[in-house]
Amino acid sequence: MSDPLLRTDSVTKRFGKLTAVSDVSLSIPEGGISSIIGPNGAGKTTLFNLFTGKHAPTEGSIEFRGEEIGGLSPHEIVSRGIVRSYQITNFFSELSALENVRLATQADRTGFGPDDFLRHHASLSDAADEAEAVLDRVGLLDVADQTAANLAYGQRRHLEIGIALATDPDLLLMDEPTAGMGPEQTNATVSLIEDIAEDATVVLIEHDMDIVMNISERIAVMNKGELIARGTPAEISENEAVQRAYLGGE
Amino acid sequence: MSLLDAFDPRETGSSTDGILSNRGRFGILALIAALAVLGPVASAVRPFWLYLLIQILVFALLALSLDFVFGYAGLLSFGHAAMFGTGGYAAALLITHVTANALVVLPAAVLTGVVVAAFIGWFSVRARGIYFAMLTLAFAQIFYVIAFADLPSTLLGVETVTGGDNGIVGLATLETFGLLDLSDRMNYYFLTLGLVALSLLSIVRLANSPFGRVLQGVRENEDRMAFIGYDVRRYKVIGFAISGGFAGLAGGLYVPFQSLAQPQLLNWTLSGELVVMLLLGGLGTLWGPMLGAGVVVLLEEQLSGFAAWEVILGSVFVVVVIFAPRGIAGALVSLWEDPEDAIGNVRDALANYREKVMK
Amino acid sequence: MFVEFSSVLRATMLGVQLGMTLALVAAGLTLIFGMLDVINFAHGSLYMMGAYLGVTVSAQFGSFWLALLIAPLAVGVIGAVIEVFGLRALYGRNPLYHILLTFGLAVMIQGLVVEIWGGQSLRIEAPASLAGTVQIGPVEYPVYWLFVLAVSTLLIAAVWLMIDRSDLGILMRASAHDTEMVDALGIDVSKVFTGVFVFGAVLAGVAGVLLGASRSVNPGMGFGVIIETFVIVVIGGLGSFKGAVYAALAVGLVTAYGALIAPSVTDIFLFTMMAVVLMIRPNGLFGATEAA
């Protein structure tokens, strides 16, 4: 097996007395779609927060392309190519869809040089072109000028993904991208995810087992902060520990 | 902490688009031209009015500098008096001990504002919302006490540096290698007007730069900005420092004009008054707060003759907050867009108020 | 610099007393924030109104005790007016407007005070039964100050118990976190809001009367105390009653010790303390931290 893209080694996160993530070691190879599943409160979102720098791990290490990233600040992690999208829509609600995405495409073109203070933002035309291309990809080009807050639910969720995509990530972490969607919207989102996975590695947190089983190459199962199983969809569906976590006990 | 997250000015619908349009630019130029004419006219009618105009211009500049971070970037500074006052004290100390040359004094005031703001900002951006506000307030009060108690003189072992609660008095006016006689108040007016106009144009330019767009994104959703790759803290500190430079310039213009630097320039009551100017004028619009500054200065000047002027001033704020939350700018814009609806709007606002109070 | 033991002891007692009285003001401010999400800039003015009404009542009827009873209740009425006719119109709007509204009110009240009572310093006459001093170890301490300490401490303890134990306290905590839930229980939230605001105003009024007989009563005292109280509430964590009490004690002690070492710059100690606390804990000592 080649070197993994992302690897955690005994990563643990505690909030006071609560252990949200406990001794998780997993590796995600480059390319394709991996999923993390588990009941609510299993620590999936906390794991994402550790990968993206929202929290620093209490113990253990997180390596991306062989380089330690645990405890770096969010923007440093983004510049290395890891980006996440959110379960709840978390964008710039007063700005238009295009401006939302353009803030993201502008990110690696903006620094603290004289130009960044003096020229007009519209002169960053390649950032704008790129933003339009992203909107096209997530199917929002026709509502580019609408204020984000006024978009329909499904459109907002796609804008959410679009913002993440616009930073041109190598690893895209998606937190329940299909939550709350009807069947049609869900299908559109699933094909969007598959399209994204053509040129980036995707890690999904997802509750819909049909989607997970259909599109994931690998699945990791978490329960109560711990990693309880790893494997292909076929292996996971046969796994007894997984069935216990989902059906028995609680 | 949703309560504190709510503590940002996004709902005021502030966008600079209004002043970026050609019409907006034309409006600004027309206003500057009008002010250039107004100065001599006012002075001819009553010399005191020119004094008031200069005062208004200086506070308009200060309000503008605050709006750039407060309304535009969502940084709730309750300590902008710190940059205004230190800029002013820097000017006073230079004039007393070194030179009164405007080409030295004014840049030094700007630089002082930038340095003080960078210092306060670097510490304060760790906290957010109202906590950020309280940190900036605390740092500003520390500067106030330093000036009031004349700590530098104790530390340096000299008789006086800041002049304590009396301040530094009897300052010579600025000079410019004899090019412009600034003891003539009219010339001082034009100098101030020119610098305020230049500052306004620079801040509009900044607001529209890629940097300004990032600040706007920070105001809207600072977490998400970090998670698409921006070093949010650094943007905030730099934005705050830039704003501090303009506040320092305002202080540098104000002190030689009054020929007095006193601790009141650093006091939190001034910072509070500034916030009032912003909200009264219309947060995040840049031009609204400048108008707000004019209104507050005029109100204070006009009402100070009355016995109960504070009561009137306070009541005006209360009424504006309840009935015209988007400030003067908001009221003007809706009047401009739909003049016939003005009476209806007033009626709606009253009905709305009655309903809420009777709940 | 050599400071005598007796002055340190005296400063400690003074600091605790000041801290407990400030806690009365701070408790109202922090409860109002916790419940109503309002930063009440006029809270210092309510404290000031307590002191001035205390001056008038005690002069009129010659009784400090009557003043201690009537003035806080009158301040409560003023609080009710502010909440019902001012703040209610602003709920649901950006909390920044609450600050502006209450700032305007504070300016207004200061103007009114100058109109009615004039600009000079006044004083509430402390009752004769509390005159004189007692010897506590090496310190000669005024009886009145002990009385202030006792009353403030008892009130704070009572409020603490109420918030911690009673149904009303639970209700208050519930509506701070979930107004919808309280609504669903069939409780009138707007009455709870008014009640909390009035309660905070009464506490501030009591503090005004108590300190009005030991500190001077002047039109600047409202703005003066609001800064002190903001420092307390921010250090303690906005909305936290427990935090406000601890922070008030700390502020009282720092003020008292500061006055021993360098009287002209006590404020610097206070603000530095606040800055350091916020640098380490950006939401104050007991402030809610971001949910994971």
When CB atoms are compared, the residue of B10, B151, B321 closest to C101 is B321
**Residue A176, in any domain of the structure:** yes
Residue A56 to chain C, least CA–CA distance (Å) = 12
Whether residues B135 and C274 touch (CB distance < 8 A) is answered with: yes
φ/ψ region of A89 (left if φ > 0, alpha if ψ in -120 to 50, else beta) reads: beta
Is there a single domain that holds both residue A16 and residue A140?
no
Residue B294 to chain C, least CA–CA distance (Å) = 18
Confidence band for B253, pLDDT divided at 50, 70 and 90: very high
Residue B170 to chain C, least CA–CA distance (Å) = 25
Is residue C193 within 8 A of residue B357, CB to CB? The reply is no
Whether residues C271 and B138 touch (CB distance < 8 A) is answered with: yes
Q: Which residue of C has its CA nearest to A50?
A: C292
Q: What is the pLDDT of residue A94?
A: 85
- Return the residue in C228, C271, C277, C281 with the most chain B beta carbons within 10 A, the one to mutate for interface testing: C271
Is there a single domain that holds both residue A183 and residue A126?
no
Question: Could you tell me which residues of chain A have a Cβ less than 8 Å from any Cβ in chain C?
Answer: 15, 18, 20, 46, 49, 55
Q: What is the pLDDT of residue C238?
A: 84
Q: What is the pLDDT of residue B317?
A: 80
With vertex at residue C114, the alpha carbon angle to CA B262 and CA B271, rounded to the nearest 5 degrees, is 35
**Which residues in A lie closer than 8 A to residue B231 (C-beta atoms)?**
73, 75
- Return the residue in B2, B3, B165 with the most chain C beta carbons within 10 A, the one to mutate for interface testing: B3
pTM (two decimals): 0.85
Q: What is the pLDDT of residue B299?
A: 86
Over the stretch A122-132, which tens digit does the pLDDT of each residue have?
778 888 899 99
What is the pLDDT tens value at each position of chain A, 250 positions in all?
567 899 999 999 988 778 899 999 999 999 899 999 988 888 898 999 999 999 999 999 999 999 999 989 999 999 999 999 988 778 898 889 999 999 999 988 888 888 888 888 877 888 889 999 999 999 999 999 999 999 999 999 999 999 999 999 999 999 999 888 889 999 999 999 999 999 899 999 988 888 999 999 999 999 889 999 899 998 888 888 888 777 654 4
Return the minimum-mean-pLDDT range out of B53-62, C95-104, C121-130: C95-104
Is residue B182 within 8 A of residue B176, CB to CB? The reply is yes
**Residue A235, in any domain of the structure:** yes
Domain boundary among A168, A196, A215: A168
Q: What is the pLDDT of residue A247?
A: 61
C292 touches chain A (CB under 8 A): yes
Domain boundary among A147, A168, A189: A168
Neighbours of chain C (3+ CB pairs under 8 A): A, B
Residue A98 to chain B, least CA–CA distance (Å) = 13
Over the stretch B101-124, which tens digit does the pLDDT of each residue have?
999 999 999 999 999 999 999 988
**Residue A110, in any domain of the structure:** yes
Whether residues B137 and C104 touch (CB distance < 8 A) is answered with: no
**Residue A87, in any domain of the structure:** no
**Which residues in B lie closer than 8 A to residue C282 (C-beta atoms)?**
126-128, 131
**Residue A155, in any domain of the structure:** yes
Q: What is the pLDDT of residue C288?
A: 64
Q: Is the pLDDT of residue B292 over 90?
A: yes
Whether residues C104 and B315 touch (CB distance < 8 A) is answered with: yes
What secondary structure does DSSP assign to C61-130, as a single string?
A: HS-HHHHHHHHHHHHHHHHHHHHHHTGGGGTTS-THHHHHHHHHHHHHHHHHHHHHH-SS-B-PPPPGGG
Domain count, chain C: 1
List CB contacts of B29: < 8 A, sequence separation 6 or more: none
Residue B260 to chain C, least CA–CA distance (Å) = 23
With vertex at residue B282, the alpha carbon angle to CA B279 and CA B284, rounded to the nearest 5 degrees, is 100
Whether residues B131 and C234 touch (CB distance < 8 A) is answered with: yes
**Residue C245, in any domain of the structure:** yes
What whole-number distance in Å separates Cα of residue B80 and Cα of residue B84? 7
**Which residues in B lie closer than 8 A to residue C287 (C-beta atoms)?**
131
Number of B/C CB contacts below 8 angstroms equals: 154
Q: Give the alpha-carbon dihedral of B190, B195, B197, B203, to 10 degrees.
A: -170
Domain count, chain A: 2
What whole-number distance in Å separates Cα of residue A93 and Cα of residue A97? 9
Whether residues B321 and C265 touch (CB distance < 8 A) is answered with: no
**Residue C121, in any domain of the structure:** yes
Residue C177 to chain B, least CA–CA distance (Å) = 10
**Which residues in A lie closer than 8 A to residue B226 (C-beta atoms)?**
73-75, 78
**Residue C132, in any domain of the structure:** no
- SS3 label, residue B219: helix
A107 touches chain B (CB under 8 A): yes
- Greater confidence (B28 vs C180) lies with B28
**Which residues in A lie closer than 8 A to residue B214 (C-beta atoms)?**
103, 106, 110
Question: What percentage of chain B reaches a pLDDT higher than 70?
Answer: 92
Q: What is the pLDDT of residue B6?
A: 34
Q: Which residue of B has its CA nearest to C85?
A: B357
Using alpha carbons, list the distances in angstroms from residue C163 to A74, A107, C169: 40, 48, 4
Q: Is the pLDDT of residue B300 over 70?
A: yes
Residue C119 to chain B, least CA–CA distance (Å) = 12
When CB atoms are compared, the residue of B134, B149, B311 closest to C264 is B149
Whether residues A73 and B223 touch (CB distance < 8 A) is answered with: no
Is there a single domain that holds both residue A196 and residue A250?
yes
**Residue C292, in any domain of the structure:** no
Ordered domains of chain B (ranges, CATH)? 2-323 (1.10.3470)
- Greater confidence (C21 vs C174) lies with C21
- Return the residue in B228, B234, B236, B242 with the most chain A beta carbons within 10 A, the one to mutate for interface testing: B228
Whether residues B272 and C227 touch (CB distance < 8 A) is answered with: no
Is there a single domain that holds both residue A58 and residue A122?
no
Is there a single domain that holds both residue A114 and residue A153?
yes
**Which residues in C lie closer than 8 A to residue B283 (C-beta atoms)?**
96
Return the minimum-mean-pLDDT range out of A89-93, A212-216, B192-196, C179-183: C179-183
Is there a single domain that holds both residue A182 and residue A229?
yes
**Which residues in B lie closer than 8 A to residue A125 (C-beta atoms)?**
none
**Residue C177, in any domain of the structure:** yes
Which of A192, A89, A94 has the alpha carbon at shortest distance from A135?
A192
Domain boundary among A168, A191, A212: A168
Is there a single domain that holds both residue A250 and residue A177?
yes
Q: What is the pLDDT of residue C292?
A: 29
Whether residues B214 and A110 touch (CB distance < 8 A) is answered with: yes
What whole-number distance in Å separates Cα of residue C276 and Cα of residue C258? 17
**Residue C291, in any domain of the structure:** no
User: Chain B, 225-244: which have a CB under 8 Å from a chain A CB?
Assistant: 225-232, 234, 238
**Residue A86, in any domain of the structure:** no
> For residue A220, what are the β-bridge partners?
A36, A230
**Mean of pLDDT over chain C:** 87
Is there a single domain that holds both residue A155 and residue A111?
yes
Which of B345, B259, B250, B262 has the alpha carbon at shortest distance from B289?
B250
Whether ipTM tops 0.90, in short, is: no
CATH number at residue A39: 3.40.50.300
Over the stretch C73-88, which tens digit does the pLDDT of each residue have?
999 999 999 999 999 8
Q: Mean pLDDT throughout B229-256?
A: 96
**Which residues in A lie closer than 8 A to residue C292 (C-beta atoms)?**
15, 18, 20, 46, 49, 55
Confidence band for C173, pLDDT divided at 50, 70 and 90: low
Both tokens of B265, joined, read 């320039």
Q: Is the pLDDT of residue C67 over 90?
A: yes
Whether residues C96 and B9 touch (CB distance < 8 A) is answered with: yes
Backbone angles phi, psi at B326, to 5 degrees: -90, 10
What whole-number distance in Å separates Cα of residue B209 and Cα of residue B73? 13
Is there a single domain that holds both residue A76 and residue A176?
yes
Is there a single domain that holds both residue A154 and residue A224?
no
Which of A68, A51, A39 has the alpha carbon at shortest distance from A226?
A39
Is there a single domain that holds both residue A122 and residue A222?
no
Whether residues B1 and C290 touch (CB distance < 8 A) is answered with: yes
**Residue A182, in any domain of the structure:** yes
Domain residue limits at A153:
92-168
B316 touches chain C (CB under 8 A): yes
Over the stretch B141-185, which tens digit does the pLDDT of each residue have?
889 989 998 888 888 888 889 988 899 998 888 888 778 888 888
What whole-number distance in Å separates Cα of residue C144 and Cα of residue A153? 65
Residue C140 to chain B, least CA–CA distance (Å) = 31
Is residue B311 within 8 A of residue C108, CB to CB? The reply is yes
Residue A97 to chain B, least CA–CA distance (Å) = 13
Is there a single domain that holds both residue A2 and residue A67?
yes
**Which residues in B lie closer than 8 A to residue C106 (C-beta atoms)?**
314
Domain residue limits at C161:
5-126+137-280
Write out the H or E segment, with its range, that includes residue A21.
Answer: strand A18-28
Q: Is the pLDDT of residue C252 over 90?
A: yes
List CB contacts of A153: < 8 A, sequence separation 6 or more: A180, A181
Over the stretch A133-156, which tens digit does the pLDDT of each residue have?
999 999 999 999 999 999 999 999
CATH number at residue C56: 1.10.3470
Residue B353 to chain C, least CA–CA distance (Å) = 6
